[in-house]
Amino acid sequence: MSKKNRKTSPSILSLTVPAALLVALGVTLSAKLGLFDPVGPVSGLEVKGPETVVIGPRQMRYRAEGHFLKRGLAVDAPLVDAALRAPFAITKYQVSRGEYRRCVEDGACEAPEAGDGGEDVPVTGVNYSDAENYAKWLTAQTGEVWRLPTDEQWAFAAGSKFPDDALGIDAESDNPALRWLADYEREASRQKSPDPRPQPRGTFGENEYGVADVGGNVWEWTRTCHRRVTIGDRGEVLKEQPACGIYVVDGKHRASMSFFIREPKSGGCAVGVPPDNLGFRLVRDDRWYARLLYAFERRREGAV
């Protein structure tokens, strides 16, 4: 054995053994504290989760979320470069009335306020809290960790159907009337769906990744907080004010809704034409530490 090998082997061993001991200690303590308990299936038999589509790693340029101000005037949000480094699974369809009804029957979800149609129609008339409660219930039922997508994840999954809400006004313009007129024309051109009633899942087709009904007449809750961002002359962020309690909903266009709103036409939309309906789909958290992270979050919420 060479001198180089004799020096390297103890170094690797000295790093591997403590790491293995730390992992084992963490798992043991987590089990003793019951941190894994909230994730396990309620019935003791894991239920199969909903059909998903895997969104693979890639790069994307899309319009950032938020209300952006420059010199006190509203401007288009900047285009940002985002990189998806690891794949994620998102439900192929929006959560249906039938799927949601089972959560209601278990006492884990509140009944939706609105929505007509059969079991395979997307559930609507649900707010952010309703969607979160369903995700927790599904996590308990399947033993897999389910969450609402972030706005960025939704954008990656939407692909070519992701909307760009830019008005195209010169950022250097100090004439607020130009933006007001452009905003008015855009909102006037956004017509409500001829039939805003939720349609059976799959009605609006699939995008290039196999995700169904993106851009249909049901907008979807995300777990991304709306924000107000002040930028400088070079586009640098001077101040950012998140407004958690108001969440981004994605669909034909972006909107921002208060967490308690179930019926978008009743209010809560930041600006513009309100969504036709509010529903949601979920992503599955497949990270190796997802269960442990979820259990810590649940304990912090006082659920255990």
For the chain, 304 residues long, give each residue's pLDDT as a single digit of tens: 444 444 444 454 454 444 444 444 454 444 444 444 445 554 444 578 999 999 999 999 999 998 888 888 888 888 999 999 999 999 999 999 999 999 999 999 999 987 667 899 999 999 999 999 999 999 999 999 999 999 999 999 999 999 887 766 655 556 666 665 655 555 555 566 677 889 999 999 999 999 999 989 999 999 999 999 998 888 889 999 988 899 999 999 899 999 999 998 765 544 567 899 999 999 999 999 999 999 999 888 875 4
Contact 156, 80 (CB under 8 A): no
Residues in the chain: 304
Dist. CA 175–CA 41, nearest whole Å: 58
Among residues 217, 278, 284, which one has the least CA distance to residue 247?
278
User: What is the per-residue pLDDT for 69?
Assistant: 87
Q: Give the β-pairing of 219-231 and 67-70.
A: parallel
Burial zone of 155 (CB within 10 Å; 0-12 exposed, 13-18 middle, 19+ buried): buried
Identify the CA nearest to 132 among candidates 303, 289, 251.
303
Helix (H) or strand (E) holding 245: strand 237-250
Q: Quick one: angle between helices 128-142 and 97-105, nearest 10?
A: 80
Output the pLDDT for position 131: 98
What pLDDT, on the 0 to 100 scale, is given for residue 187? 57
Give the helix ranges, DSSP H, for 50-209. 97-105, 128-142, 151-158, 176-189
Q: What is the pLDDT of residue 233?
A: 84
Residue 287, Cβ density class (10 Å: 0-12 exposed, 13-18 middle, ≥19 buried): exposed
- 259 secondary structure, DSSP code: T
Per-residue pLDDT, 33: 43
Quote the pLDDT of residue 179: 62
